[in-house]
Every structure is written in structure tokens, then in C-alpha cells.
Amino acid sequence: MATREKNIEVMLEVFRAIERRDQRRMFDLVHSDAEFLWPPSLPYAEARNPKPGGPGWGATWIPLQPNEADRRLEPRVVAASDEEVVIHWRQKGVSPAGDRIDTPVLGLYRLRGGKLARAQMFYFDAAAVVAFLDRAKTQAASASP
């Protein structure tokens, strides 16, 4: 199998692991020094080098994706080379009050030695994501005793 095809398979397996909430498998496919770059407006933008159980995308989105349908990222490979894979995927979630978001994201993923080394995500509407996350946080806080 050519490097390009191997990179595609690795990235699709990363997405499957995220959807299954299999952190061990996901981090097996990611270099320990991997860098994750998110739009600066997102609350997890500072989590550039995520670790299992640490702050980042998972800590933000896992509570907002209570079922399989909400966890489905629907990854679609747009382009690939021997070093990078571009994937279009869906960011979904549901707030404590039932508000929903389903918005597209384009990710540029660099691989090294068969593992993810760098991920940069481009949200089509980062402002809508920020507004959704702010509402969800407020709803969760008001629901707590």
C-alpha cells in the first residue's frame, strides 16, 4: 500500500476512534508531540498538545454528544499526499436545553511515520460554534443545583 493510501487509512481510523470514544486507540495513532491547531476563538484553542483525559476538544464536546448520531463526524477525504490528508467533517452537538449544532469543518492533517503529527482545523462558522458552546455552558450551569 502506498504512503498516501496508508495516511488516508490512519486518518479514517483516527476519526473512527473519536466516534467510538476510544482514546487509547486514537492516541496510539498520534505522535506524542503532535500539535493540534484550532481557531483561536474556540475555548479549546489553547490545548495544542492534547493528552488523554486532559483539556481540549474531547473535554468540550463529549458531554454535548450523548448519542451515536451526535458523535458521527462523517469524515470525507478531500485530498491526500504522501505527507498530508485533507478531510471535511461535521461538528455536531446538543446542549442541555436541546439546542443543536451541525456545522462543517475542514481539517488539514500532516502525518509522519504512519502517525498524526499535526492537525489544523478550519471551522466554516466558528462564531456559530462559539455561540453554541456559550449557550450550552450557561444552560449546564443553570441546571446544576
Of residues 63, 88, 56, the one with CA closest to residue 73 = 88
- Res 89 pLDDT > 90: yes
Q: What is the DSSP letter of 97?
A: T
Residue 111 and residue 81: Cα distance in Å, rounded?
A: 10
| Ranges 39-48, 96-105, 118-127, 129-138: which has the least confidence | 39-48
Q: How far apart are the first and last CA of the chain?
A: 55
SS3 letters across 52-79: CCCCCHHHHHHHHCCCHHHHCCCCEEEE
Q: Which amino acid is at 18?
A: I
Average pLDDT of the chain to the nearest whole number: 94
Give me the residue spans of the domains in the chain.
3-143
Q: Which CATH architecture has domain 3-143?
A: Roll (3.10)
Find the mean pLDDT for residues 88-113. 97
Share of the chain above pLDDT 90, in %: 84
Q: What is the pLDDT of residues 32-79, one digit of tens each?
A: 999 999 999 999 988 888 777 777 898 899 999 999 999 999 999 999
Residue 105, pLDDT score: 98
Q: Cα 118 to chain center, whole Å?
A: 13
33 backbone dihedrals φ, ψ, rounded to 5°: -105, 20
- Res 143 pLDDT > 80: no
| Bridge partner list, 105 | 89, 123
Predicted TM-score (pTM) of this structure: 0.92
Residue 35 and residue 85: Cα distance in Å, rounded?
A: 15
Q: Which amino acid is at 132?
A: F
